[in-house]
Amino acid sequence: MTNPIPGDPVYLGSFLANTHWYGVVGDGETPAMQVATMEAVGQDAVIALDALKGDKGDKGDPADIVKMQWDSTITQAAQLPTGLNNSTDVGKAWWIGSLVYVWTGTNYKAKQMGSPGQTGASPQITVTTELLQPEETSVVEQSGTLLNPVLHFKIAAPRGVQGPASSIALAADYDDTLPPTAGQVITWDDTKQLWEPSDFAARHPRLYSVPSAAFANYTGLTQRQTILSYVLEEQDYDYVPFVNGHIKAFGVELDADPLTIGCEVRLGDPTTGQLIGRGFGNISSWTHIKPHFSTSGDPTTAVSPDNGVALVPAGQTATINVNLYNDGLLGAYIFNNAGAQLTILTVPQS
């Protein structure tokens, strides 16, 4: 072997190595900027070379247009349509899961679109409404937060056509146990807490007249004498009897004030019953009966709708007594029923 001279390659040895190549970016013009380096440790070597940047290339062809089918209901690849032979179908794409399936004209190409994110929080929507007049303008007022929005709908709903009236008999608070008859009306039963058919006339005052023949003639000498006892039929409501009438009695008294024979009308007992009418004697001999409730012994007695004075309860008969009453001194007198009359009006009370 001859001695090597400068510039001769000298074999040092051989070994296997994994090499890693890096390009060093340069402009290709500045001197000493194009270099190559190599580092080796054991069987691992790294070589670094200049990376040369070339000139800008020619403009490429446009990429294919993807026609995303946003309104599709397809959720699985097996549901993708087949037989897309029309040229307008090329580029149609369906997004299923994390892949987009694009029709190339002959088959589908699946492209990764990334994995779907987590489901976001659902807002808790509160809705309120307010009805406006038909001529006003509808509007929605929003308040609250993004996760708890409040929507207040102010609605000017159009006025509809008037519909048919509902059947009263089908109402939940109507008692249809008995069918209504002609002339009846709807009334409230406080005990049942229901509406029911009732005789409207029976809730109104009812008029009764007592003829002359019902009165008993009398001749005698007494302070009080009953000349009529009339039984009034029961009513289906509470009432107070309202009496009017006239009688004629005459005679001679043992004083200077003759012919003062009056009368009284009492409810129930002819002597102690509630006074409901009075007629005072006068010189004409005709006594006119009017409603009267107080006496000299109880001058404060009066009737009101709810105080119970002279009240006849519903479902009970009432006896109306007319007494001759001597308003003067003791004397004899005569009563004849000719022309006598009594009228009774039943006045409903609450």
Q: Return the pLDDT at 28.
A: 61
**Residue 114: predicted pLDDT:** 64
Residues 229 and 276 in one domain: yes
294 and 177 share a domain? Answer: no
pLDDT for 254 equals 52
Enclosing domain of residue 30: 18-52
Domain assignment present for 88: yes
The pLDDT, as a whole number, for residue 113 is 75
Instruction: Indicate whether 6 belongs to any domain.
Output: no
Q: Is 296 within a domain? A: yes
Q: Kindly list the averaged pLDDT for each block of 10 residues, start to end, along the chain of length 350.
A: 69 66 65 65 70 75 79 92 86 89 91 74 94 94 94 93 85 90 85 85 83 94 91 92 93 59 94 94 84 92 92 94 83 88 92
For residue 247, what is the domain's CATH number? 2.60.120.1340
What does the pLDDT read at residue 3? 77
Q: 219 and 257 share a domain?
A: yes
In a domain, 76, yes or no: yes
Q: What is the pTM of this model?
A: 0.47
Residue 240: inside a domain: yes
- Rounded to whole angstroms, how far apart are CA atoms 260 and 266? 20
Q: How many domains does the chain have?
A: 4
